[in-house]
Amino acid sequence: MSADSVTIASLGAKGDGVAHGSDGPVFVPFALPGETVAIARVKNEGTIMSFASTSPDRVAPPCKHFGPHGVGGICGGCSLQHLAKAPYNAFKRQIVIDALKSKGLDVPVAEIFEAHPHQRRRLVFTARRREHGLVMGFMQAETHHVVPVEECPIASDGLISRLDAIKIIANACGAEHFRVTVTETPTGLDISLDGLRGGLGDQARRAVTNAVIKLKSIARVSANGEIVIEPHKPLLDFGGARVVLPPGGFTQATHEAEEHMAGLAIAHIGKAKKVADLFSGIGTFALRIARVASVFAVESDEKAVKSLDFAARNTQGLKPISVERRDLFRRPLMTSEFKAFDAVVFDPPRAGAEAQCVELAKSKVKKIVAISCNPLTLARDLAILTAGGYRIDTVTPIDQFLWSPHVEAVATLTKG
């Protein structure tokens, strides 16, 4: 370890400050461009020891768990609470711009759709049992230490106000080390206990059940994907269609971002009559699109497929929705299969949809909406589509991961 003084030139992709040394870049978490800081350095990473100068863009973090003086080091859940709003939004938008340029795509990028405090409806906690009891919170960055959480300004009030109840249920399971995924739904909290070695024994099952009975606002508790107790179905509303969230199932991090992304997709497909929704999940977009067009939804997860199909069959006012379980990484829709569709929407996992885009690029589908939580794989997929004759109309960054370096994006494309 060595001590150095460095001046921060820019922010890196992870939100770290980047200084340029004689032997290459040095990454300094929680430092901002223009700041001169004394660091303890190990190889190309530095830890702030003191400031010689600070940026006018530095602000006081709103959460006590973020760290003293806005230099982090306590809770690993956020990395950019110390950055003022305008440069923060610019940084996130630039992530998308840089990803597109890395693939030779010099296209206009809209202003970012902003995230705000108290919107996040889904959190994943780490729980570990210690001598003094259960500790539940977030992992401190670059360590195995769990930071107990007493507040969280990104989380919805309905979720964070129930922290004590969540911890009571987690404690009742008796496990030593596991994950607690909590999703706020209109019918109550959905709590998923995962990573339990050997699952829940009978005694632990009774303890969890009794805890839920005594508490309020708990819709369901599951363990390793198996329902333990379900006082209420955890329901989500997708444009008036009520969908049961499968145990541990995926949903967008914030309702506001979800609505905006769906609005962008529906506006772009316009008067399309038949739409394919690929990597459809539980129907986040398919059920909304079905208000204006018939939909063919494709998803690999069996539980998600069943939830979407049940909602489609039990919601009035929808155009026809057909659902297929299919692994689009191993068996993408072939070019000939797209002949029936006027538009395609796809929202794949972080790995993107490379194999699917190779086939889609050769199709004559008029309108495409590409949604991604990974700008780099999105840029790769868009490059494949533009090489096949598609024009990128718009790219809109979506911030639903407040104070993190992660950013969503929605791209709209037209053939020709």
Q: Strand pairing of 226-229 and 218-223? A: antiparallel
Q: Which among 63, 75, 78, 373 is annotated as catalytic? A: 373
Using alpha carbons, list the distances in angstroms from residue 95 to 107, 109, 116, 117, 143.
14, 11, 19, 21, 26
Known binder of ligand: residue 16?
A: no
Residue 170 and residue 127 in contact, taking contact as beta carbons nearer than 8 Å: yes
Known binder of ligand: residue 399?
A: no
Residue 406 and residue 127 in contact, taking contact as beta carbons nearer than 8 Å: no
CA atoms within 13 A on the CB side of 356: 29
Contacts of 396 (CB under 8 A, 6+ apart): 109, 110, 112, 113, 264, 409, 410, 411
Known binder of ligand: residue 347?
A: yes
Residue 173 annotated to the active site: no
Residue 52 backbone phi and psi in degrees, to 5: -90, -30
The length of the chain, given as a count of residues: 416
Could you give the CA distance from residue 115 to residue 258 in angstroms, rounded to a whole number?
11
- Tell me the β-bridge partners of 148: 137
Known binder of ligand: residue 230?
A: no
Q: Annotated binding site for S-adenosyl-L-methionine, which residues?
A: 252, 279, 299, 347
Residues annotated as part of the active site: 373
Q: Annotated binding site, which residues?
A: 252, 279, 299, 347
